[in-house]
Structure 1
Amino acid sequence: MAFAPRLELRQSQSLVMTPQLQQAIKLLQLNNLELTAYVEAELAENPLLERDERRPDDGAGRVEPTDTRPGADQGVLDGLAPRREAPVDVEHDNNHDEGSPGEAAPSPYAAPGASGRGGDGELPSLEETLAEGDTLRRHLERQIGLEFADPGQRLIALALLDGLDAAGYLRAEADQLAAQLGADPAQVAAVLARLKRLDPPGVFAADLAECLALQLAEKNRLDPAMEALLANLDLLARRDLSALRDICGVDEDDLAGMIAEIRRLDPKPGSDFAAAPAQTLIPDVLMRPAPDGGWLVELNPDTLPRVLVNNRYLARVSGSLKREDKAFLADRLATAQWLTRALDQRARTILKVATELVRRQDGFFAHGVSHLKPLTLRDIATAVELHESTVSRVTSNKYLMTPRGIFELKYFFTQAIAATNGAEAHSAEAVRHRIKGLIDAEPADAVLSDDALVALLKAEGIDIARRTVAKYREGLGLPSSVQRRREKKQRAASA
């Protein structure tokens, strides 16, 4: 076999991910608040970018709401494609050569006082007037300062405090912490033992049994029988009282007294202290009933960043610049034009996907979770003529405000459960909701087993296996039929 050099011409196709394409994909994944932070950074770096502070009701950079009635918004949806025929530098919504006329008007969805900044005689918002309560960390820091005079021990104590969760449990491993600090494990264990004596009783415990034991020791009630009970909390959770009596060596009355004493303890000793302020969930997409039926879907104007290219500034400074400065401005101009175009395309893509989602799940918004339909990314991608990965990015970490509350867009994608009679498939979320409803309504003398649930669901036209019912029940945090029967009997006996 002879080897010789030769020339060959081959043709192939490949996708080249340009930096701008990668950045556009990144923008699509961000929610409105994350996008605002990104735009603020661009505004600080690019002199040709300016925040668009025109009123949303003037049509400045605003994507019109779409109607979800069949055929009502076909023209709008057709108009959501990128406008390639118009050059970027002549799009009036994204370019600006005059002064900004005013501040954006508050959205009808915004809470009263949400846009107030305390100036011009405006009152501060309610959140700004709330007094900050004492947190668990500050409460323990004060005690640590009094308990530990040695700086080395105080450093170890504060490091252990960093591993405390909101309920007061220590989630950090003492051995790992000793290795990180370069301290003797015995010294860390000694500091931890002293921390477990701080107020409130039960803090710095590793698990529930230790937390309860610390509180009982504080009350001088930690006897051998109680220790045996704490070592077998799983039997108490299953209401297996006969096994607990044998293990603890007590009679029925003593065991009932021990259980009552445990119930008076606090399983989360840190929960009585002020927690960090909860972050308000800000929706990216809004929907409301249309006056003549259907739903109107629009982007949240309060969180949607709007920018424009300041051509007036560009014309003023470009005449007397050096060559390298002109090159810099040309690069900044290209970046500004790309950003305005990318923001517009992102907004239209999100609105396009959200509108189709609302149209597909109309039954959920009108009647509740029992009417949620099975839906996949491919269904939406096919309907709006996008790739599945694009739909996945659009629906990730973005929220829709509906008359039934705020939901993540991913919530509306559920698996399909087949119907017994060949009818339309059922949503897995709707089936879970039905299982919970059946268990909540079961009488004390007729607790439903998983097999009984399967029979009831099949009678309603839902073809489901027993293991699927068990998986959904466990996912809902509902105990087995044996445990539910024990709990109901115990409640009936104590009533």
Structure 2
Amino acid sequence: MAKLRQNIAVKSKLSSTLKSWLPILQSPINELEEMLGKISEDNPYIEIQSAFSTSLQNKLTPLKSPQRSMHSAKNSIGDKIELLTIYEKGLIETLEEQISSPLFPTQRSQQIAYAIIGNLNSEGFFDCDIQEVIQDLQRDGIECDEAEIERVRKRFCHLEPSGIGAKNLEESLVFQLDISNLEDTDYDIALQIIRNLEQHTKFKKYKNYEKIMKVIRDFRRIPSLDFQEDSCAVIADIIIIQQNNNIELALNDSYYPSMIIEKPKLKNVEEDSYFKTKLKEARDLVDALDMRKATIRKIGLMIIEYQYDFFMGGEIKPMKLKDLADEFGHSPSTISRAIANKFLECNRGIFPIKSFFTTAIDGDTSNASIKEFLSDLVNNEDKCKPLSDIKILELIEKKFDLKMVRRTITKYRKQLGILGSSQRKRMYAMSI
């Protein structure tokens, strides 16, 4: 019976520690001190000593925002993976979630809509060669013409972000006008202003001119602007130290605050139930911080074990998030949240931890391998005749001996920040 009571006590202690452990684990390292401060602000036993007492200037590692242009041949794989994984939901995913009834009631209209999304440029405009889209759809067994594609594309005026899918700025503004609150004559005047923006002052005599101009000024000029990420600072949780063929793991302890438990200088503290509770909470919080360190270390060791070839200069191999979840006895969604916004630093650069959990496309082929090959193809393409997405698809299918659809290639290309073939051709011409 005594042993049973002891087991129950241990289990109870572990459970209370876990309640603190999960939010602490999920917190980014640069927000950890602030979070611990909020949790412990009413606890008289805890003193938190800041880890930010030294200059942040020497510790922060700048992370450049994804570039919306072609990658040069000098770009590292770190830059590419960073582009793919630092933000969980991008423009393409946001749009694809909206491709459903009633706007796109049939499977045919939905497939055409997906093809349109796959051919948007980095600003959210549809400025590609429409014949390529027709060929892509034919490969998927859909015979259609330009008129049908246009009918589907015009429905994009009802999608968010507003103005997406237009061919140019003027049409994007018209898309946004169509869903605005302007009606009747105000709408007609606004339409004329949009088509003559440089001469909009000639409409000043119209009584609602200021009202209309205020609405137009609020329209997006770049539909995808909200998805063009700002630069930010990244602090790695895990540091991989490599010397020759030896790999060692270190935690970035310099950003962990110190937690000290001190008894309040009051009489009869030990007998007061309030202080007893607070003392227990303080000890649980210290245990939870230690568990965070142990968990991050274990995740790092698993990554080294699974991705050893990558650290030696090879490619990232397929690694399932479920493997990590099973190891810790939590659901994949919990572990996914836990490793979000956490980074690993090694000789090859700084990587989001999530980037090491790539999806296996076929056997030992990961989507990271596909994207790496795609980037190499573009970096070495004929500048006078850039590779179309269809040609890239053919080369990838041949290289990896698998079947894919063109819109997947287009999606990967956009995630890498690589322009379409027609846009690349114009850029190459300008650089000659």
Q: What are the Cα deviations for residues 159-198 of structure 1, in whole angstroms up to 9, with x where unaligned?
A: xxxxxxxxxxx9x99978xxxxxxxxx99961774899xx
- Residue in 1 that maps onto 2:400: 461
Residue 365 of structure 2 corresponds to residue 365 of structure 1: no
Q: What are the Cα deviations for residues 297-321 of structure 1, in whole angstroms up to 9, with x where unaligned?
A: 22211221221322xx35x535378
SS in 2 for 1:358: helix
Q: What are the Cα deviations for residues 366-413 of structure 1, in whole angstroms up to 9, with x where unaligned?
A: 326xx1111210133345666534432331121222222222111221
Between the aligned partners of 2:335 and 2:280, the Cα distance in structure 1 is: 28
Q: Which amino acid aligns with 1:285?
A: I
Q: Which amino acid aligns with 2:337?
A: R
Unaligned runs of 5+ in 1: 1-15, 54-102, 115-169, 177-185, 197-202, 210-267, 269-276, 419-423
Closer, same or farther: CA 385–293 of 1 in aligned 2, 3 Å: farther
- Residue in 1 that maps onto 2:41: 44
Q: Do the aligned residues in 2 keep the contact of 1:374 with 1:426 (CA within 8 Å)? A: yes
Larger radius of gyration between Structure 1 and Structure 2: 1
- 1:201-240 maps to which residues of 2 (within 5 A)? 206-207=220-221
Q: What are the Cα deviations for residues 336-373 of structure 1, in whole angstroms up to 9, with x where unaligned?
A: 111111111121111111221133223333326xx111
Between the aligned partners of 1:405 and 1:359, the Cα distance in structure 2 is: 18
Between the aligned partners of 2:376 and 2:208, the Cα distance in structure 1 is: 50
- By relative contact order (CA 8 Å, sep 6+), the higher-ranking structure is 2
Unaligned runs of 5+ in 2: 1-11, 61-172, 182-205
Q: Which amino acid aligns with 2:241?
A: R
Between the aligned partners of 1:478 and 1:104, the Cα distance in structure 2 is: 38
Residue 273 of structure 2 corresponds to residue 327 of structure 1: yes
- The partner residue of 2:255 within 303, 306, 312 is 303
Between the aligned partners of 1:204 and 1:104, the Cα distance in structure 2 is: 41
Residue 374 of structure 2 corresponds to residue 448 of structure 1: no
SS in 1 for 2:350: strand
- The partner residue of 1:407 within 351, 354, 360 is 351
Q: Do the aligned residues in 2 keep the contact of 1:432 with 1:473 (CA within 8 Å)? A: yes
- Residue in 1 that maps onto 2:368: 429
Aligned CA-pair RMSD: 4.7
Q: Do the aligned residues in 2 keep the contact of 1:396 with 1:410 (CA within 8 Å)? A: yes
Instruction: Give 1:465 deviation, angstroms.
Output: 1.7
Closer, same or farther: CA 329–433 of 1 in aligned 2, 3 Å: same
- Residue in 2 that maps onto 1:491: 429
- Residue in 1 that maps onto 2:6: none
TM-score (norm 1): 0.47
Q: Do the aligned residues in 1 keep the contact of 2:365 with 2:400 (CA within 8 Å)? A: no
The sequence identity of aligned pairs, in percent, is 25
SS in 1 for 2:254: coil
Structure with higher helix content:
2
Between the aligned partners of 2:59 and 2:403, the Cα distance in structure 1 is: 50
Instruction: Give 1:438 deviation, angstroms.
Output: 0.9
Q: Do the aligned residues in 2 keep the contact of 1:49 with 1:308 (CA within 8 Å)? A: yes
Closer, same or farther: CA 350–191 of 1 in aligned 2, 3 Å: same
SS in 2 for 1:348: helix
Closer, same or farther: CA 48–460 of 1 in aligned 2, 3 Å: same
Closer, same or farther: CA 34–445 of 1 in aligned 2, 3 Å: closer
Instruction: Give 1:49 deviation, angstroms.
Output: 1.2
Q: Which amino acid aligns with 1:402?
A: C
